[in-house]
Chain A
Amino acid sequence: MSTHHHHAKDFLFTYIFSTDHKMISKQFLVTGFLMGFIGLIMSTLFRLQLGWPGESFEMIELLMGSWQEDGVMAPDKYLSLVTMHGTIMVFFLLTAGLSGTFSNLLIPLQIGARDMASGFLNMLSYWFFFISSVVMLCSLFVEGGAASAGWTIYPPLSALPQAIPGSGAGMTLWLVSMSIFIVSSLLGSLNYIVTILNMRTKGMSMTRLPLTIWAFLLTAILGVLSFPVLLSAALLLVFDRSFGTSFYLSDIYIGGQVLEHSGGSPILFEHLFWFLGHPEVYIVLLPALGITSEIISTMTRKPIFGYRAMIGSMMAIGFLSFIVWGHHMFLTGMNPFLGSVFTFTTLLIAIPSAVKVFNYLTTLWKGNIVFTPATMFSVGLVSTFISGGVTGLILGNSALDINVHDTYFVVGHFHIVMGLSAIFGMFAGVYHWFPKLFGRMMNNKLGNIHFWITICCAYGVFFPMHFLGFAGVPRRYYTNSEFPMFDNMIDINVFISVCAILAMIGQLVFFFNFVYSAFRGPKAPMNPWKGNTLEWTSPVEHFHGNWYGEIPAVYRWPYDYSKVNANGEYVYGEDFIPQTTPLGDDEKDGGEH
């Protein structure tokens, strides 16, 4: 074989069809961020319409073509953008982008494994994700435009190709894309679970696992148990759309024509969808919570407060997430008694969530906090988890939810508690583990600028939405200018849109920092944050196998920070004790008590 061929093959299997978890992690990160950036631009575009309804933005026509004729967004295109924004952000950025990146990067490195259980399945997982991303983006360019029934794709809009323009080929491609996405997610989750349970290094008991790994494990379990149900829902939808079945359809008239479907119910779809949909909230959130736990402990130079309580609360959240789906359906004619059951189970989630928040705050309390961008975004997550969680108590209660259901209150709530918390966790993770991903450091000053722009603008966007919701402004509407009762809300909408535009500009700072640092940032030392976990014992340069020679053994939990002896001196001369340091005679393992 010629040298040229050999190099081409090396390139192909190192960078494209790699089975190395670190490369696959970077592939997920870059693809996820690209998708996220597209989703962000979409939100900015429809915020222009909501802030200044009917105004002409001729500059935008250059970008949008017939979607924005004479500079004004068409109503059906607005619906497509809202739908695609939700789909891309929830699934492609915050599910695959977040879990795919950090589960892949950290699971083998933090548990002490050379790679995932199956490198091949791992590679397939990424490529299925990539293909589903391409299919989803292609759906923007088909006749009728992309799917427009909202990211929850409720039938009958999604089940009848003739219903609205976005119900045609765009919806078909949405279903194809999501089916491939689910396969990707399942392959990834299979690997994560089996790797964590079977491939831990010597001494790495379950109570010595970093909280990141616990979070990834529980996330993967939620994915394995809930995504197949979405697949079953999508399958029935495909049959209704294309083969004349009536799983979700009954007694429908379109254009004066009665359709032949009978006996089905769209409520069935809602049950199946939300059986995935609610655990999906935690599939998005748990990795971010795990990342934050790790960063807060490392950067406050303190052991995480309530390690076992953190694990227990994540388990409780995961379990409860499967028995609360009905709170998305309080207005479907649900029996009030059943509604009260779902109210009860939903409000129960406040308990483990409060435990987590308490533990974050008590870990931060009196810590020697090192203010890096990762720390800032982690603290930002704690903030959004609280402010978004509090409004969850209102929406989880059927008596209160009915008043604000399908209003901007809901949009404000879930963007803060799920969207912002997850993306803050993701940003925190990228800043913290950038040295592990690219062997270089990011610029802290730009990182801090990014943080302050993001948190100020994000609250500026989503906090006022609660007021819109209380006033009854419905979500998903193209414009509210036809309703005089909402006239006094227009200023709030302008404010929200200005904040959204500024937030988008703020992300450009991050993207510049990311790309510049990946190529030109200062070289990273092996353990830049003085962390205890195993990934900081592997060499900076990437190679398949993670450690030269033997995999290091583990002797203690990962949170031995600032441990002092009776004289008030650091036990081992430093304020951190890596997991690879054997326990002294008079030491107890932190994870065991």
Chain B
Amino acid sequence: MTTVTLENTNYKDEIRRKTSKPLMWVGIMSIVMFFGGLTSAVVVSQGGGSFLTIAMPQAFVISTFVIVLSSLAFHFGLISVKKGNHTMAKLSVGITLALGLAFVATQYMGWVTLHDNGVYAIGSESTQQSSFLYLLTALHILHLIGGLVSLIVVLVKTMKERYTSEDSVGMQVSLTYWHFLGGLWVYLFFFLRYSIA
């Protein structure tokens, strides 16, 4: 078999630049459908008649502010990269990561509150709505962990000043995902607030 690598055409870089963002957007669509399925399940279950409400922990309200702030910080980081201000970019991405971790912490605090109030995720004392509440928030965190990993990669690259005003595709892809996670949480928060809590 003839082996032609075509490395000299440099087409792989071009493909990466052209396709990274669309790949992320289509991936986001599938995550939207995943959570769409689950939140629809909550709506269908509400029709069952035995659906009770749960008090939403205060920590989840704080989570909402934290993740919105982190999105703004990350966005500011990209603007800084585009303006060539690497110092501000490093600071912004660092703050984003710190806020991302703070979000996880506030979510954990929320679960502790729920547990202390006798709201359980699984087991015989759990109810359908308590299980949904834990599951939806946990699945969001699971997706957020992917975002945090990408944030760490972006932070390392920002520290090394790899992103430039001409090529910041990797950072833009990570930012898109982070904004999406923020939006997803805001949706989940209000959805849970008005359907379960």
Docked CA distance A190–B127 (Å): 36
A535-551 interface bits toward B, Cβ cutoff 8 Å, 1 = contact, 0 = none:
00000011111001000
- Given A114-B6, A118-B19, A190-B26, A246-B36 contact (CB < 8 Å): no
| Nearest residue, chain B, Cβ from A268 | B44
Say which residue of B23, B40, B123, B131 sits within 8 Å of A117 (CB atoms). B23
Query: 6 A-B residue contacts at CB 8 Å?
Result: A191-B23, A195-B19, A235-B38, A246-B127, A247-B131, A265-B45
A10→B3 CA distance, assembly (Å):
10
Residue numbers in A under 8 Å from B123 (CB-CB) = 243-244
Closest to B129 in A: A263
On chain A, the residues within 8 Å of B145 by CB distance are none
Range for the number of chain A residues in contact with chain B: 35 or more
Q: Please judge, given known A-B contacts A198-B18, A262-B50, whether A244 and B124 are in contact too, CB under 8 Å.
A: yes
Q: A228-B30, A229-B34, A543-B2 are in contact. List 15 more A-B contacts (CB 8 A).
A: A10-B3, A189-B26, A232-B41, A239-B131, A244-B124, A245-B122, A245-B131, A246-B126, A260-B124, A263-B51, A267-B44, A271-B41, A541-B1, A544-B5, A545-B6
Indicate if B27 sits at the interface (CB-CB under 8 A): yes
Find chain B residues with CB under 8 A from A245 CB.
121-122, 126, 128, 131
* Contacting residues, chain A, for B6 (C-beta < 8 A): 114, 544-545
Task: Say if the beta carbon of B118 comes within 8 Å of chain A.
Answer: no
B36 in contact with A229 (CB, 8 Å): yes
Interface residues of A (CB under 8 A from B): 10, 14, 114-115, 117-118, 121, 186, 189-191, 193-195, 197-199, 224-229, 231-233, 235-236, 239, 243-247, 260, 262-265, 267-268, 271-272, 275, 541-545, 548
Cβ contact within 8 Å between A190 and B5 = no
Given the known A-B contacts A197-B22, A272-B41, are A544 and B3 also in contact in the complex, defined by CB atoms under 8 Å? yes
Within 8 A of A (CB), among B1-53: 1-6, 9, 11, 15, 18-19, 22-23, 26-27, 29-31, 33-38, 40-41, 44-45, 48, 50-51
Chain B residues in the interface with A (C-beta under 8 A) = 1-6, 9, 11, 15, 18-19, 22-23, 26-27, 29-31, 33-38, 40-41, 44-45, 48, 50-51, 121-124, 126-128, 131-132, 135, 139
Task: Known A225-B33, A268-B45; judge A114-B135 contact (CB<8 A).
Answer: no
Q: Which 10 A-B pairs have the closest CB atoms?
A: A232-B37, A229-B37, A228-B34, A243-B122, A117-B19, A545-B6, A228-B33, A260-B124, A543-B4, A245-B131
Determine if B34 and A232 form an interchain contact, defined as CB atoms under 8 angstroms apart: yes
User: Given B18, B27, B30, B40, which contacts A199 in the complex, CB threshold below 8 Å?
Assistant: B18
Q: Which chain A residues border B33 with CB–CB below 8 Å?
A: 224-226, 228-229
CA distance A542 to B3 in the complex (A): 8
Distance between Cα atoms of A233 and B36 in the complex (Å): 11
Task: Pick the contact of B23: A118, A229, A232 (CB < 8 A).
Answer: A118
B41 A268 Cβ-Cβ under 8 A: yes
Residues of B close to A544: CB separation below 8 A: 3-6
What CA separation (Å) do A548 and B135 show in the bound complex?
Answer: 52
The B interface, classified by DSSP as helix, strand, loop or mixed, is helix
Measured CA separation A121–B50 after assembly (Å) = 44
Inter-chain contacts of B139 with A (CB < 8 A): 235
Please state if A194 and B30 are interface contacts (CB–CB under 8 Å): no
Complex: chain B residue closest to A191, CB-CB: B23
B191 to chain A, nearest CB (A): 14
Tell me how far the C-beta of A240 lies from the nearest C-beta in chain B, rounded to whole angstroms: 9
User: Closest CB of chain B to A561's CB: distance in Å?
Assistant: 32
Q: In the complex, what's the smallest C-beta–C-beta distance from B173 to chain A, in angstroms?
A: 12
The contact of A548 among B4, B27, B44, by CB within 8 Å, is: B4
User: What chain B residues lie within 8 Å of A193 (beta carbons)?
Assistant: 22, 26
Shortest B44–chain A CB gap in Å is 5
> In the bound complex, what is the Cα–Cα distance between A341 and B182 (angstroms)?
36
Assembly CA distance A239 to B139 (angstroms): 13
| Alpha-carbon gap, A263 to B139, bound state (A) | 22
Evaluate contact between A275 and B37: CB separation under 8 angstroms.
Answer: yes
B23 neighbours in A (Cβ, 8 Å) = 117-118, 121, 190-191, 194
CB nearest neighbor in B for A115: B15
Determine whether the beta carbon of B126 is less than 8 Å from that of A272: no
Per the bound structure, the CA–CA distance linking A224 and B36 in Å amounts to 13
The minimal Cβ–Cβ distance linking B38 to chain A, given in whole angstroms, is 5
- A536–B31 CA distance with the chains assembled, in angstroms: 37
Q: Which residues of chain A come closer than 8 Å to B45, judged between CB atoms?
A: 247, 263-265, 268
In whole angstroms, how far apart are the Cα atoms of A228 and B38 in the complex? 10
Which of B3, B37, B48 sits near A265, CB closer than 8 Å? B48
Most chain A C-beta atoms within 10 Å of own C-beta, residue among B2, B9, B30, B41: B30
Q: In the bound complex, do residue B26 and residue A224 qualify as a contact, i.e. CB atoms below 8 Å apart?
A: yes
Closest chain B CB from A457 CB (angstroms): 39
